[in-house]
Amino acid sequence: MKINEEKYNWARTNFSQNKPDTIVIHHALSPNCTAQDIHRWHLEKGWAGIAYHYFIRKDGSIYRGRQETWQGGGLLGSENKGAIQICLEGCYTDYGMQTEKTVPAAQMAALVELCRDITKRWNIVAIKRHADYPSAQADKKDCPGKYFPWAEFLQRIGESFVSVSVSDTWKDKAVDFVMKFQKETGLVVDGKAGDNTNAKLDEVLKKFKEPPKDNGQAAAIKEAWDKFMNAINAIK
């Protein structure tokens, strides 16, 4: 994966430090723009410069904005804390003649690859849309747009991140359940429903539906299933 480095004329560089735990997806609300355009627009707003950490064009080329350890500015105030923010060239919502209803395959592929890379390097616990934040909801923003295929994107990422606005109580229950299931099935206990955890869950579910009768695995599968259900029931 190639990251194109841009030279920006920053209004200031004394950014707050960022310890990423979340990825946030935006769109530019413009069907044709560059990272330098975004930088210029944000300077005109009186900001330090481009507010995003990455910008992805429709052809799949990726450009660095702010350093990942610099706090972003695409959200409101404290919402920026801990977020790595990625902006897509495009206007994936109803916006007159600029409306676009399809995200190019090259752009989507680049976004998926970039997000996977970030999740390997940082302890990312959530991938969100700009629209998931209270400030965007107050302004009725649907960024990254109603036509951005969010469910498809999350499926391609291959991780089951909590990506919608839910209470902290339910987030804790979800993590608790995942950790219990991982412990009972011999997986690495990290609380993340990643590829290995999802594969193990699929294995248990599929095999329990039609457990083998004579190969000695039926009892083990039944035991794993019972522990799985007990883990669910233990979450109050």
Query: CATH number, domain at 55?
Result: 3.40.80.10
* E strand map for the chain: 3-4, 22-27, 54-56, 62-64, 83-88, 126-129
Q: What is the pLDDT of residue 31?
A: 96
| Residue 11 lies inside a defined structural domain of this protein | yes
Last residue in a domain, options 157, 181, 207: 157
Question: Do 34 and 143 fall within a single domain?
Answer: yes
Regions in the chain scoring below 70 on pLDDT: 159-176, 190, 193, 205-236
Last residue in a domain, options 111, 137, 157: 157
Question: Do 137 and 191 fall within a single domain?
Answer: no
Question: Do 188 and 73 fall within a single domain?
Answer: no
Question: In terms of Cα–Cα distance, which of 39, 63, 40, 64 is closest to 50?
Answer: 39
Last residue in a domain, options 129, 157, 185: 157
Question: Do 111 and 9 fall within a single domain?
Answer: yes
The pLDDT tens digits for 158-216 are 754 544 444 445 555 666 677 777 777 887 776 776 777 778 877 776 665 555 555 55
Question: In terms of Cα–Cα distance, which of 97, 43, 51, 102 is closest to 72?
Answer: 51
| Residue 228 lies inside a defined structural domain of this protein | yes
Number of domains in the chain: 2
Gyration radius (Cα) of the chain, Å: 21
Q: What is the pLDDT of residue 43?
A: 98
Question: Do 151 and 200 fall within a single domain?
Answer: no
Domain enclosing residue 145, as ranges: 3-157
Question: Do 152 and 175 fall within a single domain?
Answer: no
Q: What is the pLDDT of residue 157?
A: 83
pTM greater than the 0.85 cutoff: no
